[in-house]
C-alpha cells in the first residue's frame, strides 16, 4: 500500500467530504437524515509513518479539536492502520477505526489531516463474494451477507441498544431492530428501503419522519460501512457504523 509523503496529506477527493463547523464533536459515520450527510461518501485513509497517533476530542472538551494534551484521547492508531473518514474540520478529519474480530471494537474521533494519507485508488468492490461474511461493529450490531449471484446479495442484520445496562436487561428494556433484503451491488454501494416486509428502492427524498427503514452500505478496504435513518428498530437502535468481519 502506497503512502503519501509526510506533509502532503490526503488526496483531494478526501478533502471534498462534508465539513463540520469548527469545534463540533465527531461521532463517526453520520446517520442518514443528519444535516448535510445525504451526499456524503465515506473515504478510506491510511495513517502515515510517525508512531502512535491519538484520537482527539471535539466540542465535548473546550478548545478541541486541537493539539493540546487536554484534547488527546487514550485511543490511538499506528502506522499503516486504515480508518474511515466521514467529515473534516480545519486541520482534522473525523475518523473511525474498527479493530479485527472477534471483538470488532470501534473508536471514533478526530485525527490530524497531516498524518493521514490515501490508499491507491481502487475499483469499486462489486463482486458479491467480497461482501460475503458475518460483519460486526462492536457487540450490538451484526450484518450477515450471502451471495445470490455475481453482483447480488442477501442481507440480514440485527442491532440492539441498552444491552450493556444491567438494569435495562433486568427489566426487559433493551431495544432491538433487524433488517433483511436481497439487493444488487452498484459501484461498490448497496442501498435499499424496507417498508414492512417489502424491500423498496432507496429514496433520499422520502420524508425523514417516515417510519420506513432506509439503509446504505459501502465495501471499503477491510470494512463494511453502514448508514441508516434511525427507523430500523426501537428507539436509539441503529445499524450505522464501521464493520469488520467477525472471526
Select the highest-mean-pLDDT range: 79-93, 121-135, 143-157, 205-219: 143-157
The DSSP call for residue 81 is: -
For residues 211 and 199, the model is more confident at 199
**C-alpha–C-alpha distance, residues 17 and 92, integer Å:** 12
- Across the chain, what does the average pLDDT equal? 86
Bridge partners of 159, per DSSP, are 141, 177
* pLDDT at residue 211 is higher than 70: yes
Domain membership flag for residue 123: no
Beta carbons of 87 and 113 less than 8 angstroms apart: no
| 122 located within any domain | no
Residue the block writes with cell 424496507:
194
The four Cα atoms 142, 102, 76, 62 give a dihedral, to 10 degrees, of 40
Q: What angle do CA 156, 157, 159 make, to 5 degrees?
A: 165
Look up the domain containing 143 and give its range. 128-245
Q: What is the pLDDT averaged over residues 143-166?
A: 95
Q: Contact at 8 Å (CB) between 150 and 127? A: yes
Name, in order, each residue with C-beta under 8 angstroms of 211's C-beta and a sequence gap of 6 or more.
231
Report yes or no on 171 lying in a domain. Answer: yes
Domain count of the fold of the chain: 2
User: Are 55 and 134 in a shared domain?
Assistant: no
Whether residue 179 is found in the same domain as residue 109: no
Q: Which of 88, 117, 146 is the last residue of a domain?
A: 117
- For residue 212, give Cα distances in angstroms to 34, 95, 193, 231: 16, 28, 7, 6
Provide the strand spans (E) within 8-52: 43-47
38-57 pLDDT, tens per residue?
Answer: 567 899 999 998 889 999 99
Does 56 share its domain with 101? yes
226 and 176 in a single domain? The answer is yes
> Does residue 7 belong to any structural domain of this protein?
no
**What is the per-residue pLDDT for 235?**
92
Res 26 pLDDT > 60: yes
pLDDT band at residue 31 under the 50/70/90 scheme: confident
Q: What is the pLDDT of residues 113-142, one digit of tens each?
A: 999 997 767 788 999 999 999 999 999 999
Q: Exposure pattern of 218-229 as b/e (b: 16+ CB <10 Å)?
A: bbbbebbbbbbb
In 3D space, the residue among 68, 69, 59 whose CA is nearest the CA of residue 109 turns out to be 59
Q: Is the pLDDT of residue 228 over 60?
A: yes
pLDDT given for residue 15 in this prediction: 47
The residues near 85 (Cβ < 8 Å, ≥ 6 apart) are 10, 14, 17, 42, 43, 44, 45, 93, 94, 95, 116
pLDDT in tens, 59-102: 889 999 999 999 999 999 999 999 999 988 889 999 999 999 89
> DSSP labels for 168-205?
HHHHT--EEEEEEEEEE-BTTEEEEEEETTEEE---TT
Give the side-chain half-sphere CA count within 13 A for 10: 29
**Percent of the chain scoring above 90 in pLDDT:** 63
Alpha-carbon span 39 to 205, nearest angstrom: 12
Look up the pTM and report it: 0.88
pLDDT > 50? residue 201: yes
Question: Would you say residue 88 lies in a domain?
Answer: yes
Amino acid at each position: 500500500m502506497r503512502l503519501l509523503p509526510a506533509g502532503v496529506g490526503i488526496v483531494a477527493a478526501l478533502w471534498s467530504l462534508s465539513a463540520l463547523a469548527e469545534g463540533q464533536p465527531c461521532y463517526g459515520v453520520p446517520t442518514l437524515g443528519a444535516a448535510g450527510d445525504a451526499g456524503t461518501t465515506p473515504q478510506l485513509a491510511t495513517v502515515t509513518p510517525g508512531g502512535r497517533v491519538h484520537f482527539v476530542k471535539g466540542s465535548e472538551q473546550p478548545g478541541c479539536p486541537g493539539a493540546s494534551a487536554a484534547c488527546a484521547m487514550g485511543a490511538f492508531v499506528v502506522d499503516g492502520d486504515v480508518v474511515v473518514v466521514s467529515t473534516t474540520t480545519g486541520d482534522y478529519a473525523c475518523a473511525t477505526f474498527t479493530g479485527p474480530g472477534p471483538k470488532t471494537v470501534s473508536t471514533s474521533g478526530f485525527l490530524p489531516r497531516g498524518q493521514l494519507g490515501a490508499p491507491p485508488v481502487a475499483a469499486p468492490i462489486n463482486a458479491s463474494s467480497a461482501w460475503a461474511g458475518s460483519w460486526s461493529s462492536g457487540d450490538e450490531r451484526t450484518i450477515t451477507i450471502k451471495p445470490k449471484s455475481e453482483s447480488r446479495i442477501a442481507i440480514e442484520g440485527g442491532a440492539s441498544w441498552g444491552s450493556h445496562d444491567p438494569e435495562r436487561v433486568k427489566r426487559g428494556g433493551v431495544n432491538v431492530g433487524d433488517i433483511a433484503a436481497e439487493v444488487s451491488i452498484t459501484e461498490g454501494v448497496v442501498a435499499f428501503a424496507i417498508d414492512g416486509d417489502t424491500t423498496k428502492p432507496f429514496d433520499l427524498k422520502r420524508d425523514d419522519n417516515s417510519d420506513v427503514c432506509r439503509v446504505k452500505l459501502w465495501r471499503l478496504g477491510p470494512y463494511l460501512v453502514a448508514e441508516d435513518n434511525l427507523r430500523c428498530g426501537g428507539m436509539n437502535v441503529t445499524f450505522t457504523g464501521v464493520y469488520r468481519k467477525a472471526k
